[in-house]
Chain A
Amino acid sequence: MTTLPAATPARKPASGAQQKLLAFASLIALLVFFSLASPNFLQTSNILAILQATSVNGVLAIAATLVIITGGIDLSVGTLMTFCAVMAGVILTNAGMPLPLGVLGAIAVGAICGTISGTLVAKMKIPPFIATLGMMLILKGLSLIISGTKPIYFNDTPGFSEISTGSLIGKVFPAVPVPNGVLILFILALVIGYVLNRTVLGRYCFALGSNEEAVRLSGVNTDAWKIAIYALAGSICGIAGLIIASRLNSAQPALGLGYELDAIAAVVIGGTSLAGGRGSILGTMIGALIMAVLLNGLRVMSVAQEWQTVVTGAIIIAAVYADMLRRRRAAS
């Protein structure tokens, strides 16, 4: 149960730290650059807007990181987020239940859907790309069906919008009213970072991505661990669903398609390998922040929208290429 291929974790820390440093330096460089380029960039309200723009993509990227480290991919994170938001709407608005039930319900629905994806991948041996592509479409359709293609508003649950837009930090430090959605993102990052680096689940997550066969041959029930990881990722999508629904004070059933690609982009900018076995939550967080800072900064500089897209694409390629160069040099 505890025997792990020793080589993999031993190689990880050194290169991981360097990658994070590089990504972090890029983030700082972007911040400095935009602050110099536009006088309006570096003000509290804009920094808070950037953090808020990161909250949903950051949470989805954390979910995607877990699955990607196992060597899989989860294309359903965006529509699962929407599905959980719609279910929260059904529980709170349509059924009129109390707020905590809606919150737990959304997370539970996420975990159940994650379990289904995990079972498709682990037990039925469907490639993760196909299994989660199928789930992505199923969940998009179900969201539209259950909501009757209309947004579900949370006007009857006054506390709901506080989940994302309220500010606990602002109550203590009125000068920096960091929205709760951002607080949730950072707490979640700490928790999942701990799970990945300090718990058995995290160790198997890396081990599955490095050499699944070796793990299985050493007597580990790889299927069960894989399903558990997909379920955890699913429940995190449930949290993302709560954050976005709370921010919009509504569950928007048509939303979600395309969000999986933003999440995956944040993950790879943060240095997590799509081949599995390597990655970190800190890297993913920096990746998500880089994307949000970049978009906001270009907007504040009034760069035309066509060029914003071009620059974002170029940055993704440049970030991953720089990481590969450094890795190759480290290896030689």
Chain B
Amino acid sequence: MFTRRTLLAAASATALMLSASLASAQDKIYIPLVSKGFQHQFWQAVKAGADQAAAEFGVEVTFEGPDTEAQVDKQMDMLAAALAKKPAALGFAALDSQAATPLLRQAQDAGIPVIAFDSGVDSDIPATTVTTNNLAAAALAADKMAELIGGAGKVALVVHDQTSRTGIDRRDGFVNRVKEAYPNIEIVDIQYGGGDQLMSTEITKAMLTAHPDMKGIFGANEGSALGVINAVRETNTQGLVVIGYDSGAAQKAAIKEGLMAGAITQSPVGMGYETVKAAIAATKGEALPKTIDSGFAWYDASNMDAPEIAAVLYD
């Protein structure tokens, strides 16, 4: 009993200190961001951008997301808790737009503007959507692939999944660009590894076994791209052109080592920043465009240390 009471007391003391520090900040505009993920480096970079905007504009921002992108119900619980705090505005990246509709309508009824980010929300409730143009970004990856393999040969894709908007857009952006512009490039395989590094490694190894004359592989998100790199390293494959997506320390190192030719970077930091900025504008009743492009760029060993690129890359 004694131990339990001590524990509880310690917990309450910590929490009281936390709430005290919050109380002092309570007159600030409060904007919660409910994201699709949390511990993944990409989401941490979105959070960093949001925190940066919070500091710059003097607002209070919190950032939450479920452990995996399958946990739609947990995201609903986070959204409900965020609404309970009566925020000035809300940033939201829906895992499943339809499931979120009742809660978003509740936000709308309470006059809380909703800013969609990343894959957006399939509804007319959000004031705007801050997102990467994934179709155009993947088309840029296809152009770079064509340039690097000399416009002809076999290529393959390792994609994170075939159901999410980003998975579909990056696959289609790449495939469509190859079809319309590069008739001599043959896409021999498209596989889905759930963004899991290890699974993507095994997929890539199987692809390389099936097609020893493969010229290049495009990994459509961080996990997929790292899986491709792993497989290249494990099988000691030479001369394969690997193009990745997003950044992260491991991918940046692979580009420096020459294992990866280059990658498309979104601007997760910019996404977090623009989301908070748009949310503040919405609380003031300012008009917002339908979508806000958070930006993308090609980077490789030659330009990754340039300030404008280094600023959007994350570890």
Using a CB–CB cutoff of 8 Å, the interface residues on chain A facing chain B are 29, 33, 37-38, 40-41, 43, 45-46, 49, 52-53, 56, 149-151, 153, 165, 244, 247-250, 252, 254-258, 292, 295-296, 299-305, 311, 314, 318, 321-322, 325-326
Contact = CB atoms under 8 A, between A and B. Distances in A.
B81 A250 contact: no
B292 to A, nearest CB: 25
Contacts of B163: 149-151
A151 B77 CA distance: 19
Given A43-B84, A258-B71, 14 more contacts: A29-B8, A37-B16, A49-B84, A149-B163, A248-B98, A254-B68, A255-B70, A255-B72, A296-B81, A301-B18, A302-B60, A314-B7, A318-B4, A322-B3
A33 B19 CA distance: 11
Contact of A40 (B60, B70, B86): B86
B86 A248 contact: no
Nearest to A153: B98
Interface in B1-31: 1, 3-4, 7-8, 11-12, 15-16, 18-19, 22
Contacts of B19: 37-38, 301
Interface in B94-113: 96, 98-99, 102
A255 B85 contact: no
Given A29-B8, A303-B18, A311-B11, A252 B72 contact: yes
Contacts of B80: 46, 49, 52-53, 296
B269 to A, nearest CB: 19
Given A33-B12, A151-B96, A248-B96, A257 B78 contact: no
A258 B68 contact: yes
Contacts of B98: 153, 248-250
Contact of B72 (A248, A295, A303): A248
B301 interface: no
Contacts of B198: none
Contacts of B72: 248, 252, 255
Q: Which of A299, A302, A314 counts the most chain B CB atoms within 10 A? A: A302
26 contacts: A29-B8, A33-B12, A33-B15, A37-B16, A37-B18, A45-B83, A49-B80, A49-B81, A52-B77, A53-B77, A149-B161, A244-B73, A247-B73, A248-B98, A254-B69, A255-B70, A255-B71, A255-B73, A257-B70, A296-B77, A303-B18, A304-B62, A311-B11, A322-B3, A322-B4, A325-B1
B104 to A, nearest CB: 13
A38 B22 CA distance: 9
B99 A254 contact: no
B305 interface: no
A56 to B, nearest CB: 6
Contacts of A149: 161-163
B interface, over-half SS: helix
Contacts of B16: 37
Contacts of A49: 77, 80-81, 84
Contacts of B4: 318, 321-322, 325
Contacts of A303: 15, 18
A128 B270 CA distance: 49
Contact of B15 (A37, A244, A256): A37
Contact of A247 (B71, B76, B162): B76
A296 B84 CA distance: 10
Contact residue range for chain B? 35 or more
B118 interface: no
A250 B70 contact: no
A300 B15 contact: no
Contacts of B32: 302
B73 A56 contact: yes
Nearest to B77: A53
Given A49-B81, A52-B80, A302 B22 contact: yes
A325 B6 CA distance: 14
A146 to B, nearest CB: 15
Contacts of A304: 62
B222 interface: no
Contact of A248 (B73, B84, B162): B73
Contacts of B96: 151, 248, 250, 252
B67 interface: yes
Contacts of A29: 8
Contacts of B86: 40
B62 A302 contact: yes
Nearest to B34: A299
Contacts of B3: 321-322, 325
B103 to A, nearest CB: 9
A304 B62 CA distance: 8
Q: Which of B16, B82, B96 counts the most chain A CB atoms within 10 A? A: B96
A300 B84 CA distance: 7
B73 A299 contact: no
A208 B22 CA distance: 51
A229 B78 CA distance: 34
Contacts of A247: 73, 76, 99
B78 A299 contact: yes
Contact of B7 (A45, A248, A257, A318): A318
A33 B1 CA distance: 19
B299 interface: no
A295 B63 contact: no
B85 to A, nearest CB: 5
A149 B193 CA distance: 13
Interface in B139-160: none
